[in-house]
Structure 1
Amino acid sequence: MVVLSQNGRQQLPLIKACKPNYGFTGIPVIDMTSPHAKAHMVEACEEFGFFKLVNHGVPMEFMSRLEDEGIKFFSLPQSEKDLAGPPQPFGYGNRRIGPNGDVGWIEYLLLSTNPDSISQICSSISPENPEIFGSAVVDYVSSVKNMTYEVLEMIAEGLNIEPRNVLSRLLKDEESDSCFRVNHYPPCPELEALRGRVLVGFGEHTDPQIISVLRSNNTNGLEICLKDGTWVSVPPDQDSFFINVGDSLQVMTNGKFKSVKHRVVTESRKARVSMIYFGGPPLTEIIAPLPSLMKEGEETLYKEFTWADYKKSVYKSRLADNRLGLFEKKEQP
């Protein structure tokens, strides 16, 4: 367990607590088995860049088992957890988010989605029972991958673009640069004395990949930013998944879909555990608006770039930076 000292708390960002937005009608909830799911996914990606997915087909057993294994790891003494880190690029980390000064009240495991890589890192995460932890990760990630492929293919159909796998093929590629995180946000009882203020677990940002698939336990903390700049809290649901549009998908749809800005704040009494699959393309993949989505005479809003170029640019930035700004085409005066 991470211990928050008075000095440590002062070094972490505090923000005003998110007030209820009574004009907000709620997060889109999409039943994956519904005949209208494709159209609803497109609408949600255009309006929010975010939706909750139910009847998704991922066994609850896989979700619960991996969460249990994650909690076991995060409950270890700090000296034992440190043996699995820092991430290079995969492994255990805490507080520090990226190399450019961003910090949060968080500890995490960053993993590859490649089974061989998972097996290797799990020997340091769980040296006594690496097979148990590794099996839990592989089962979960494999099932979530398949669900994500189907979601992307349904979105492609909803957009009336062909082929159906125009998006999913990038994640299915053997060279796909996808990754997986297990995040742990410890409770912070000291927050009860800070009325109207909350501690930032993970600062505001957009995800750079194509798509992100989040599952969390039944603890509050996730917030998204609406188009008008208002922040709203996302009610937790441990049985469902939350789907985020990433920067790359925003570019591929020429801005029709919006990469959702989001953050996580810390609870005073309950720990939050989340598991996120980040679906990324191969490093050599050129990211650009899809021609089949472009109307005749429509101008592209972004310069072409490879995923490797964008990933390198993101790595040099701060969390809250407008990362796509460097790749936007500027209008001539």
Structure 2
Amino acid sequence: MPNSSLPIIDISLSEGSQDAQKKKIAADIDNAARQYGFFYLTGYQIPEHLIAECFQAATKFFDLPTDEKNKIAIENSQCHRGWYAIGGEVLDPVHQQEGDIKEGLKIGNDLPLTHPLVTNGTPLHGPNQWPEISSETMPAMDSTLWKKTMLTTYDYFCETGLEVMRYFAMALNLETDYFDHWLTRPDSEPMATLSPIRYPALNQAETALSAGAHTDFGCLTLLAQDNNEGLEIAIPDGTWLSVPPIENTLIVNIGDMLAFWSGGKYRSTLHKVNNRSGRTRQSLAFFYDPAYNTPLINLTDGLSNSSETANETKTALDHLLQKIGDSFSYQKNR
């Protein structure tokens, strides 16, 4: 097992006093979120075979010719869904104007064109773009199976995200279901996104990064990694800490929104990807974000929000639109 300073938190419950176990899990999550903003998660209910199948499906898509992938280019979507090419996302424009050395997919809450949020023109809401797969373009997998794999994975990640957010509610001395209203149907339509990502191997002489240093935009990120290292996080002493893959774990990290809600108590930690493994690296990032009208306010007593942005940003949608507009060049041309 690779060495890491990050805690590994098990959310499975054994026999005995479940209340006591839940309080211990909430306390462990609270400590990790304060110190690092990142931790390993185990004991979740996502089947490992499903994560493996999702990786395989993503690989088959990324292996397609560019003209096939371009059929679902993110530029063609009105709600930021689909494929983006290498350099399509620029997470650190100050140091890497040419963009990240990665390609990825954005798969979100698949709303029909008739949904009220879509007909009202609410940004970031609408249908996904799905690839048209044939036996010629993607052997051993058809469009129906590919779509089912992605949507099933999406649903499982939603369930795990909600479970973790309930522990955060406990840690913040809120009712356990405090965040449910903004994160679950039928009360709301959360803006969660499943994002398979592929990072080509970088030449050792290159100075570019696979993903520039950034904080995540939303509430909570759940990340499945393949067997290749590359993820690094900034820790308080000013150095970078490697976060290697550990079998049967996910990485959880705090996004900007949860940092707002906690009044700066939890860290939305700067991180980057530096794939010097000599091999192609893949990950599955799940951005668990709330309904568009969720207010970004300090939910804690006696703490001031240290972020000026929190004073300017009123809702989850406001913040996501700002961040996506800053990091995807195609958005600037709309």
Q: Structure 1 length normalisation: TM-score?
A: 0.78
2: distance between equivalents of 1:27 and 1:48? 8
Aligned residue for 1:103?
99
Match of 1:131 among 127, 144, 148: 144
Aligned residue for 1:93?
84
2: distance between equivalents of 1:56 and 1:268? 28
1: distance between equivalents of 2:285 and 2:212? 16
Match of 1:84 among 67, 72, 80: 72
Match of 1:42 among 25, 30, 36: 30
Consecutive unaligned residues in structure 2, runs of 5 or more = 14-20, 114-125, 136-141, 329-334
2: distance between equivalents of 1:168 and 1:97? 33
Aligned residue for 2:179?
167
Aligned residue for 2:301?
294
Matched, 1:262 2:271: yes
Aligned-pair CA distance for 1:108: 0.8
2: distance between equivalents of 1:280 and 1:102? 27
Match of 1:186 among 188, 200, 211: 200
Aligned residue for 1:144?
157
174-183 vs 64-73, greater mean Cα deviation: 174-183
Match of 1:305 among 302, 314, 319: 314
Map residues 1-333 of structure 1 onto 2, 5 A cutoff: 26-33=5-12, 35=21, 36-87=24-75, 88=77, 89-98=80-89, 101=97, 103-114=99-110, 121-124=129-132, 126=133, 129-162=142-175, 164-173=176-185, 174-188=188-202, 190-191=203-204, 194=205, 199-290=208-299, 293-295=300-302, 298-301=303-306, 302-303=310-311, 305-317=314-326
36-45 vs 101-110, greater mean Cα deviation: 101-110
Query: Which amino acid in structure 2 is aligned with residue 122 of structure 1?
Result: W
2: distance between equivalents of 1:26 and 1:281? 30
Deviations 1:172-208 (A, max 9, x none): 14322221211001224x42xx2xx664111010011
Residues matched between the structures, number? 285
Q: Structure 2 length normalisation: TM-score?
A: 0.78
2: distance between equivalents of 1:50 and 1:231? 13
SS at match of 1:138: helix
Structure 1 residues 201, 168: closer, same or farther in 2, change over 3 A?
farther
Structure 1 residues 26, 255: closer, same or farther in 2, change over 3 A?
same
Aligned residue for 2:331?
none
Consecutive unaligned residues in structure 1, runs of 5 or more = 1-23, 320-333
SS at match of 1:80: helix
Structure 1 residues 71, 98: closer, same or farther in 2, change over 3 A?
closer
Query: Which amino acid in structure 2 is aligned with residue 95 of structure 1?
Result: I
8 Å Cα contact 1:215/1:238 also seen in 2: no
Q: What RMSD in Å do the two structures reach over aligned CA positions? A: 2.4
204-213 vs 69-78, greater mean Cα deviation: 69-78
43-52 vs 126-135, greater mean Cα deviation: 126-135
2: distance between equivalents of 1:237 and 1:115? 35
140-149 vs 99-108, greater mean Cα deviation: 99-108
Aligned-pair CA distance for 1:144: 1.1
Query: Which amino acid in structure 2 is aligned with residue 150 of structure 1?
Result: E
1: distance between equivalents of 2:180 and 2:253? 15
Query: Which amino acid in structure 1 is aligned with residue 170 of structure 2?
Result: E
Query: Which amino acid in structure 1 is aligned with residue 6 of structure 2?
Result: I
8 Å Cα contact 1:217/1:237 also seen in 2: no
Structure 1 residues 103, 207: closer, same or farther in 2, change over 3 A?
same
225-234 vs 304-313, greater mean Cα deviation: 304-313
Aligned-pair CA distance for 1:279: 1.3
SS at match of 2:101: strand
Query: Which amino acid in structure 2 is aligned with residue 187 of structure 1?
Result: A
